[in-house]
C-alpha cells in the first residue's frame, strides 16, 4: 500500500493498517468500519451506461459521496468513466480541487454573492438560479478579470431553488448581455421521479422543454440540458436529454425498492463491527438506557462498539437486527451514542466476532433500504447519516 493509494481512510490520522493489527508497529484500526467495494461501484457505472449510452454522466458525490467517502469515491468514479462530479456546497468542490481532482465539478446548491469569487478561483461550475444571481456572478468575474462557468437552474415544480419555468425567458435573456460567463448547461430537478405515478414528473418535463423553446425560437444554441436523476434514468427514458445526474444508483441503492429489479446493481457499502463484550442477562433484567427492553428469559447479550454517534439511527432501538455468525439477532434496549446491545438468545458468540449492520454476511443481507423501511425514512438518510468518524476501507 502506498500513500497515493490509500486503502483505508481513517479519520483520526496515524498509521494505516489493511487489517486489524496486521502492520507491525501500528495500532489496531477501530473495529467499527465501513467497507467500500470498488468493484461494485464500477459495476453500477456499467449498469448506468447500459441504459444511457454515451451521454455524459454527472456523478453526484455530495454529503461525503452519500457516506462512501468524498475523495476516494470521486477518484474511482472518474476512473470508471464518469465525466463530471456534482456536489451540493462550495466547500465540497474546494475539497475535491485541493485533492488534485481536475474534472468538471458542478455545485448544485444556492449561491451567496460573497462566494462567487471562490467558485471562480477554484474553477467550479456555478448554479445561477435567478437573474440577480447571474448578475452577481458576472460582476465578480469581471472584477477578477476571469470567466465564470454557469449552469442555469429552472424550477419546474420542486419549489426549492431556480427561476420559475414561466419566467425562465427572463434568465435566458439576461445571459445574452453577460460578457464574463460561459453558459455550460441548463437544468431542473424532479420532485417525485421515483413515484409509481408518473403524472407530475411528466408535467415537470413538459414545463422544462417548453421553457427551453426560447433558444430555437431566437435562433440561439441550446446549452447542455439535464434533468434526469437516478429514478428518471430507471423509469423515464424520455428525460435523459444531453446529460444525466446520478447519485443513489451509483451506490447500488434503488430510489424505490421495486424499481428496475432486473438491473444487476450491487450495494457498494458494508457497515460492520466486532463483538467487544458477552454476558448472560437474567430473566426480567432491564437492558440499556431507560430500560426499554426487559429479558423474558435468561438470554445471552453481546455489546457492539457502535451507536448513533456513528450515524446508526437510534430509532432502530428494539426494532433493528444485526448479523452475527450469519444469523439475524435483534437489537435490544436503546442504542446509545457509542454502543448497542444485541440479544443472541441461546446462540454462541465470542469477543471479536464480526457483526454486520448493513451488508451481507453468509447468505443473509441487511440493506439500507430495509433499514429505511423499518424506521419510515429514506435510504438516502441512512447512507448520508453515517458519521465521518467511522473509518472507510476501500476494497
Cell (9 digits) for 365: 443481507
SS3 state at 200: helix
The pair phi, psi for residue 233, each rounded to 5°, is -60, -40
Which DSSP helix (H) or strand (E) runs through 201?
helix 199-212
SS3 state at 360: strand
Please give the order of strands across the beta sheet that includes 57-60: 105-107, 84-87, 57-60, 244-246
Per-position DSSP letters for 126-166, written without gaps between them: EEE-SHHHHHHHHHHHHHHT--EEEEEEEESS--SSSEEGG
* Catalytic, out of 10, 251, 289, 394: 289
Catalytic status, residue 289: yes
What does the angle CA 91 – CA 97 – CA 101 come to, to the nearest 5 degrees? 135
The beta-carbon contacts of 100-108 under 8 Å, at least 24 apart in sequence, are 101/71, 101/74, 101/75, 103/78, 104/149, 106/58, 106/151, 106/185, 108/60, 108/62
Contacts of 144 (CB under 8 A, 6+ apart): 117, 120, 121
Specify whether the CB–CB gap between 233 and 52 falls below 8 A: yes
The pair phi, psi for residue 182, each rounded to 5°, is -100, 120
Integer Cα distance of 218 and 213 in angstroms: 9
* Catalytic, out of 62, 133, 149, 272: 62
What does the angle CA 212 – CA 216 – CA 221 come to, to the nearest 5 degrees? 90
Catalytic status, residue 279: no
Residue with cell 477518484: 75
Q: Which of 303, 308, 309, 391 is nearest to 355 (CA)?
A: 303
Q: Which residues are catalytic?
A: 62, 289
Amino acid at each position: 500500500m502506498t500513500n497515493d493509494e490509500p486503502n483505508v481512510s481513517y479519520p483520526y490520522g496515524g498509521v494505516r493498517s489493511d487489517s486489524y493489527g496486521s502492520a507491525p508497529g501500528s495500532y489496531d484500526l477501530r473495529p467499527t468500519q465501513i467497507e467500500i467495494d470498488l468493484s461494485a461501484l464500477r459495476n453500477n457505472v456499467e449498469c448506468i451506461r447500459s441504459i444511457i449510452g454515451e451521454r455524459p454522466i454527472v456523478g453526484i458525490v455530495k454529503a461525503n459521496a452519500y457516506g462512501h467517502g468524498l475523495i476516494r469515491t470521486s477518484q474511482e468514479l472518474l476512473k470508471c468513466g464518469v465525466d463530471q462530479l456534482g456536489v451540493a456546497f462550495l466547500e465540497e468542490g474546494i475539497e475535491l480541487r485541493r485533492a488534485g481532482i481536475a474534472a468538471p465539478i458542478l455545485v448544485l446548491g444556492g449561491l451567496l454573492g460573497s462566494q462567487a469569487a471562490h467558485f471562480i478561483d477554484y474553477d467550479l461550475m456555478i448554479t445561477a438560479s435567478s437573474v440577480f444571481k447571474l448578475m452577481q456572478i458576472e460582476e465578480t468575474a469581471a472584477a477578477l478579470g476571469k470567466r465564470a462557468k454557469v449552469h442555469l437552474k429552472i424550477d419546474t415544480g420542486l419549489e426549492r431553488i431556480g427561476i420559475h419555468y414561466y419566467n425562465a425567458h427572463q434568465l435566458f435573456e439576461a445571459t445574452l448581455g453577460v460578457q464574463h460567463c460561459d453558459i455550460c448547461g441548463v437544468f431542473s430537478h424532479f420532485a417525485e421521479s421515483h413515484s409509481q405515478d408518473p403524472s407530475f414528473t411528466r408535467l415537470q418535463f413538459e414545463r422544462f422543454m417548453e421553457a427551453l423553446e426560447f433558444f430555437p425560437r431566437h435562433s440561439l444554441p441550446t446549452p447542455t440540458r439535464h434533468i434526469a436523476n437516478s429514478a428518471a434514468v430507471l423509469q423515464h427514458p424520455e428525460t435523459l436529454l444531453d446529460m444525466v445526474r446520478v447519485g443513489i444508483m451509483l451506490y447500488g441503492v434503488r430510489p424505490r425498492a421495486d424499481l428496475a429489479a432486473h438491473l444487476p446493481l450491487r450495494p457498494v457499502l458494508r457497515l460492520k463491527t466486532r463483538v467487544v463484550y458477552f454476558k448472560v442477562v437474567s430473566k426480567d433484567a432491564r437492558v440499556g438506557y431507560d430500560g426499554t427492553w426487559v429479558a423474558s428469559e435468561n438470554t445471552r447479550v453481546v455489546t457492539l462498539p457502535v451507536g448513533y454517534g456513528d450515524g446508526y439511527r437510534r430509532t432502530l432501538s428494539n426494532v433493528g437486527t444485526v448479523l452475527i455468525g450469519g444469523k439475524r439477532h435483534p437489537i435490544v434496549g436503546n442504542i446509545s451514542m457509542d454502543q448497542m446491545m444485541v440479544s443472541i438468545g441461546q446462540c454462541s458468540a465470542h469477543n471479536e466476532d464480526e457483526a454486520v449492520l448493513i451488508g451481507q454476511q453468509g447468505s443473509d443481507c441487511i440493506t439500507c433500504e430495509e433499514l429505511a423501511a423499518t424506521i419510515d425514512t429514506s435510504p438516502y438518510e441512512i447512507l448520508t447519516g453515517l458519521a465521518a468518524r467511522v473509518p472507510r476501507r476501500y476494497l
